[in-house]
Structure 1
Amino acid sequence: MKTKYLTAEDRILWGRVARSTRPMPGKSVEDIEREMEDFAALLEPPAPKPKPRNARSAGDLVEEKPQQKRQPPAPNVIDRPTHQKIARGRLPIEGKVDLHGMTQSEAHSLLLSFLQRAYADGRRHVLVVTGKGSPSRGTGVLRQAVPGWLSTPPFRALVSGHQEAARHHGGEGALYIRLRKREAP
């Protein structure tokens, strides 16, 4: 299904491209920024319509309890046989996303949209490249942050497990992620 709005991944990519350009002769940076803001406003989806109020009057003594949705458990480590099958190529890696050089907010948005699409497509195993970091700066920021993100509610609904990738897939700078099975409609 095609939408007329940009996904979070598209916005990140567009932002990177826009920052790498120079103004044409005769245009100032302010003109371009104003045009970009106008363009970005067109790409935002419309605000959701307000829901109609409940038909019951305030005098009704019916107490409604909000339904609590059960939170999925936090992701586990991928079991050893599955990890070995992925590393040896007997289980396919069905998607890959590279978060190198992104800010934490860009990487978070991209990772969430990537995992949502992979889950919707019924994929089970994907590779997320975070990078190892540099020896002078220590362990990479994304390398440390991504496992924490995977245990937060938006990711827990999608991810059932994660594990450091095999050396030929990026080693400590990459993660295998096992997505949950899609629920039957």
Structure 2
Amino acid sequence: MKKKKNDIFINLIGNVTPIKKNNKLERNIPVINKTISFQKRTKNKLSFSELKKQPTPNISNFEIEINKTNKKLKKGKIPIDKKIDFHGLSLFDAERLFTHTISICYKKNLRCILFITGKGVLKKTANDWDESKLYYGKIRSNFLIWTKKKELSKFILNVEQASIKYGADGAFFVYLRRQKY
């Protein structure tokens, strides 16, 4: 590229000399204490299968069946007849609502019910940082125990964790047995 006589920028830069390497300023870089170690906090997420294995009081003779309905429920092929949300309820109120809903839906011949329990919240106090457990809500952890009670298990055919579309870890499908006339 040829220099143009009328180019102001090149005329101004033409007299500039580059900075020499020995003219640089030296800064003191603070030394970081490398003896501090950080522990990676791992979360032990409770899986649905682990919740099913927990011991329950008053176990009935009725078995919760595992069959093709589980797959259909997960894929959303079975229409949901009723949705119940437990957010904002106490454990006692949620259990009463659960038992009442199961018995009423069985009588009305509504078979597929979606119960939204919520995932629960991690405790954020200073004392709990050492624990690596993920704190799920009380309602969610007691839900499967409620389904195995004697007075309700005769109505329940199937219990399945909801798919991502319906609430994933924080929701359950309960599929009721057909009413015998």
Q: Same fold (TM over 0.5)?
A: yes
Q: TM-score, normalized by length of structure 2?
A: 0.57
Structure with higher Rg: it is 2
- Aligned-partner Cα distance in 2 for 1:183–1:147: 24
The 1:90/1:172 distance shift into structure 2, 3 A limit, reads same
SS of alignment partner, residue 181 of structure 1? coil
Residue 106 (structure 2) pairs with residue 119 (structure 1): yes
Q: Is the 8 A contact 2:60 2:148 kept in 1?
A: no
- Aligned-partner Cα distance in 2 for 1:144–1:164: 12
Residue 144 (structure 2) pairs with residue 147 (structure 1): yes
Deviation at 1:140, TM superposition (A): 0.9
One-letter amino acid of the counterpart of residue 126, structure 1? I
Q: Is the 8 A contact 1:77 1:163 kept in 2?
A: no
The 1:73/1:181 distance shift into structure 2, 3 A limit, reads farther
Residue 180 (structure 2) pairs with residue 183 (structure 1): yes
Alignment gaps of 5+ in structure 1 = 1-70
CA root-mean-square deviation: 1.9
- Aligned-partner Cα distance in 1 for 2:64–2:156: 9
Deviation at 1:124, TM superposition (A): 1.5
SS of alignment partner, residue 175 of structure 2? strand
Which structure is richer in relative contact order (CA contacts within 8 A, separation 6 or more)? 2
Identity fraction in percent? 25
Q: TM-score, normalized by length of structure 1?
A: 0.56
Aligned to 2:81: 94
The 1:175/1:155 distance shift into structure 2, 3 A limit, reads same
Structure having the larger proportion of residues in helix:
1
- Aligned-partner Cα distance in 2 for 1:74–1:132: 28
1:64-100 alpha-carbon deviations (Å, 9 max, x no partner): xxxxxxx963442543x32232233321111111111
1:94-123 alpha-carbon deviations (Å, 9 max, x no partner): 111111121111001111111111111111
Aligned to 2:167: 170
Q: Is the 8 A contact 2:156 2:175 kept in 1?
A: yes
- Aligned-partner Cα distance in 1 for 2:76–2:140: 23
Deviation at 1:179, TM superposition (A): 0.6
- Aligned-partner Cα distance in 2 for 1:161–1:175: 10
* Matched length: 113
- Aligned-partner Cα distance in 1 for 2:81–2:74: 13
Alignment gaps of 5+ in structure 2 = 1-58, 125-134
